[in-house]
Amino acid sequence: MAKYFYTAKSLKGEEKSGVLEAKDIHQLAKKLREQSFILIKAETGEEAAKKRKFAISLPFGGVGLKEKMFFARNLQVMVASGLPLPRAIETLSSQTKSKKFQKALLNIKEDIVKGKSFSEALSIYPDIFSELFLNMVKVGEEAGTLDEVLKILAQQMEKENTLKSKIMGAMLYPAVIIVAMLGIGILMLVMVVPQLAATFKELEIELPATTKFVMGLGTFLVEKWYLVILILVFFIFFFLQAKRTKRGKATIDAFLLKLPIISPIIRKTNAAQTVRTLSSLIASGVPIVRALEIVSGTLENVYFKKAISEAVERVRKGEKLSEALKPYQDIYSLTVIQMIAVGEETGETSNILEKLADFFEEEVGRATENLASVIEPVIMLIIGAAVGFFAISMIQPMYSMLQGI
């Protein structure tokens, strides 16, 4: 017996939608005729899921964190006010700017009207709603605390958005300086160097190796600029492909964890994400083993993900989480492990993890605020070295020429 989502009309023109189990579509039509309804449209759960996935993948662009945060926060207010879930979702769909998200919400509303649970309707869109979002909604439905769960989810996303904004803001200044430096360097090589090269050629001056290198680089950029673009595209493509492979991702993550300035921020960011997500899941009533599995799925860094995945197996066998994380003190600091141990002893794991997440997020905030002041001298040294090398390479032949006069 298959479960069909159907739309039917009566002879009086009354339309209704719902879910019925039937052997095939003919039996479904027969059941509806017995109720004085004519079958208009029908599809199985699998067919509906395939259509939704295909439809949602067609529009370009993803759904931003701010869009989902707005959705969770406002849906929580509407549900708490007693507004029916389908109507609340339909209202919010008209307020979103993303066409992709709007279409998904309208389809979710239709699925709920047809008899699906909210979590089942959300599961059709894994590219929009994370496993964390899905599981917390499912727990909220089962416990009858959907509004509380949505409130926790909204707070979780607000914290995540704040953390990402701080990191992006801190990286913006160095990125602008580096791009400007590269742009000016390329302009100098393309516009100034060829003119100097022509002058040196006319004067038949013996050029040092550094000058020949700079002139060769300038000539290459002028004459073979398309090769530069191709090489750049190749490296970007190679990097993105490497990130998709297990070995490549592990290599990149290991490199980032060893970078002097970046490593502390990555460690604290992943620690904050781990304890914040775990706190939200435990507060929502998700069992610890399932919560850890979800946390593992949300982490980007391979080594943090591996630490939690291996801890899951030990916790499943009856070991405490604080004990399971002790072998990974190079990933999770002793502070994290000790605070989790305190939470396990007092039965206040969720509250302690939330405070710990606040602490790490503040630490990341301070680290990112100081990042510009730390990176600025390094960038100035690099710029100074590049300008010095260019100046010496171009002035040295002139100085040699003047000495020979």
| Same-domain pairing of 264 and 117 | no
Taking phi first (over 0 means left), then psi (-120 to 50 degrees means alpha), and beta for anything else, what does residue 206 get? Answer: beta
Do 330 and 242 form a contact (C-beta atoms < 8 A)? Answer: no
| Same-domain pairing of 196 and 241 | yes
| Same-domain pairing of 249 and 203 | yes
The CA-atom distances, in angstroms, between 358 and each of 325, 334, 343, 352, 355 are 20, 17, 15, 10, 5
Query: In CATH, what number is assigned to the domain containing residue 191?
Result: 1.20.81.30
Q: Where is the domain boundary, 155, 185, 208?
A: 155
Structural domain contains residue 274? yes
| Same-domain pairing of 16 and 67 | no
Structural domain contains residue 285? yes
Q: Where is the domain boundary, 116, 132, 155?
A: 155
Is the model's pLDDT at 309 over the cut of 70? Answer: yes
Arithmetic mean of pLDDT over the chain: 81
- What integer pLDDT is reported at residue 234 of this predicted model? 92
| Residue 183: CB atoms within 10 Å | 10
Span 368-380, pLDDT tens digits: 777 767 777 888 8
Structural domain contains residue 143? yes
- What integer pLDDT is reported at residue 54 of this predicted model? 42
| Same-domain pairing of 277 and 401 | yes
| Same-domain pairing of 21 and 80 | no
Is the model's pLDDT at 114 over the cut of 80? Answer: yes
Structural domain contains residue 62? yes
- What integer pLDDT is reported at residue 344 of this predicted model? 87
User: Which of 5-19, 311-325, 349-363, 368-382 shows the lowest per-residue confidence on average (mean pLDDT)?
Assistant: 5-19
Q: Report the distance separating Cα 263 and Cα 330, nearest Å.
A: 12
Q: Report the distance separating Cα 54 and Cα 46, nearest Å.
A: 12
Of the pLDDT bands very low, low, confident and very high (cuts 50, 70, 90), residue 55 is very low
The DSSP H or E segment spanning 7 is: strand 2-10
| Same-domain pairing of 298 and 395 | yes
Structural domain contains residue 49? no
How many domains, in total, are found in the chain?
Answer: 3
Is the model's pLDDT at 388 over the cut of 70? Answer: yes
- Helix spans in 81-113 (H): 85-93, 99-113
Mean pLDDT computed over 23-31: 80
Span 318-330, pLDDT tens digits: 889 889 989 988 8
Q: Report the distance separating Cα 215 and Cα 195, nearest Å.
A: 10
- What integer pLDDT is reported at residue 220 of this predicted model? 84
Span 124-146, pLDDT tens digits: 888 888 877 887 888 788 778 88
Q: Where is the domain boundary, 105, 120, 155?
A: 155
| Same-domain pairing of 138 and 252 | no
Of the pLDDT bands very low, low, confident and very high (cuts 50, 70, 90), residue 11 is low
Span 271-288, pLDDT tens digits: 888 888 888 888 878 888
| Same-domain pairing of 38 and 129 | no
Span 176-190, pLDDT tens digits: 888 888 888 888 888
Of the pLDDT bands very low, low, confident and very high (cuts 50, 70, 90), residue 57 is very low
Is the model's pLDDT at 401 over the cut of 70? Answer: no
* Domain membership of residue 13 as a residue range: 2-44
| Same-domain pairing of 184 and 94 | no
| Same-domain pairing of 353 and 398 | yes
Do 121 and 138 form a contact (C-beta atoms < 8 A)? Answer: no
Structural domain contains residue 233? yes
Is the model's pLDDT at 53 over the cut of 70? Answer: no
Mean pLDDT computed over 322-342: 88
| Same-domain pairing of 137 and 189 | no
